[in-house]
Structure 1
Amino acid sequence: MRKTLTGALLAALTLLTASPAHADVVNEKWIVDKPIAGGKRYFPAYGAYSLTGLDPDRIRPTGTLSLLGGIIDVGDRDDRCTWVVFRITYYDYEQATPKETGKRYRSCVPRQRVKFTFQHEDVSKLEAKVCWTDLNAVPDRTCVDPYQVIFKTYP
């Protein structure tokens, strides 16, 4: 009787402390702000992301990141654009090394919303920043605002 009770208690404790095989994140909201002079802030980039197949027991990231969002041109001139620039850090299992890539989306009509979506595999960190450029330019080193972390797999 005592061994049976101990065995049942141990089994119950194991069930309570076991981590799930996969921990999905669904529709987690994100927003990226743009500080300006006078302590004001614009919030031109926004959206939500989901992760499927994330394994919390692995050291390296697994799973698929799906992001949807929008960018609003917060300027008041037709000759400038508001960009959201993403930096994606992921793990390349074929080459066994972490890598970075990026994505950019823009809106060039004042107060116009542009929607976007993308997916990426094995993401360990997703960062974004907002930049302003002339109409025919793309964000470069002059966009000095720091990246803001949207998602990070492991601390």
Structure 2
Amino acid sequence: MTLTRTLTGLAMTAAVLTAVAPSAAHATTGSQETATTAVQWGPYDSPGHGARAAGSLKALGEDHAVIPAAATARISGRLQDLTRKSSTCGWAVFRITYRTKDGNLPFKHHSVRNCSYGTPKPFTFTYRDVYQVELKVCSEGKAAKPSLNCLYAESWKVVYLSK
């Protein structure tokens, strides 16, 4: 009797797996795979600790059917100026690498500046077709844009890389 129950149970399990497996296989191969990624980044300090930035990144619609994959990235955070000098500002400089229609991966910079000591500046921005997001935090004199030293000295911190 025990052997009969065991064989009946195995037969029922095999029947269920046979019925479900083709549907599951079709679901993963028949449609594009998209993903959502949420990342907390920071806090990152500038050299000399004159500025600090921290925040989050949410990537939506990462399409793994296309190589390299790309997503719409929403980046938000807070930038603090930690120097007491009114002539100095904190900078958070993002290097956004994006995918073009022809498959190239150029980049652009997005900068956030805060010149108010002790008052964190919130920011949020969104980019489409994002492949990679990198960050540098700098502290330097007031200017309309970050200096070449800020952009090219030191290394970039990788905040997000599409997989």
TM-score range, shorter chain: 0.7 to 0.9
- CA contact under 8 A between 2:132 and 2:161: conserved in structure 1? yes
1:113-152 matches, within 5 Å, as: 113-136=120-143, 138-143=145-150, 144-152=153-161
SS state of the match for residue 24, structure 1? strand
SS state of the match for residue 51, structure 1? strand
Return the match for 1:7 from 18, 31, 37: 18
SS state of the match for residue 134, structure 2? strand
1:1-155 matches, within 5 Å, as: 5=15, 7-8=18-19, 10-11=21-22, 14=25, 21-26=33-38, 28-34=39-45, 36=47, 44-93=52-101, 95-136=102-143, 138-143=145-150, 144-154=153-163
Q: CA 1:108/1:146 → structure 2, altered by over 3 Å: closer, same or farther?
A: same
- CA contact under 8 A between 2:94 and 2:134: conserved in structure 1? yes
Deviation at 1:74, TM superposition (A): 1.2
Deviation at 1:77, TM superposition (A): 1.2
- CA contact under 8 A between 1:84 and 1:105: conserved in structure 2? yes
Gap regions ≥5 residues in structure 2: 1-10
Q: Deviations over 1:7-63 (max 9, x none)?
A: 33743773898797211124x2111522646xxx67711111111111233212233
Number of residue-to-residue matches in the alignment: 148
Taking only the aligned residue pairs, the percentage that are identical comes to 24
Q: Deviations over 1:110-145 (max 9, x none)?
A: 112111111111111000001111123632222212
**Which one has the largest radius of gyration?**
2
Q: Distance in 2 between matches of 1:43 and 1:80?
A: 10
Give the AA of the match of 2:45: K
Q: Distance in 2 between matches of 1:134 and 1:31?
A: 23
Higher helix share: 2
Alignment RMSD, CA only? Answer: 3.0
- CA contact under 8 A between 1:32 and 1:148: conserved in structure 2? no
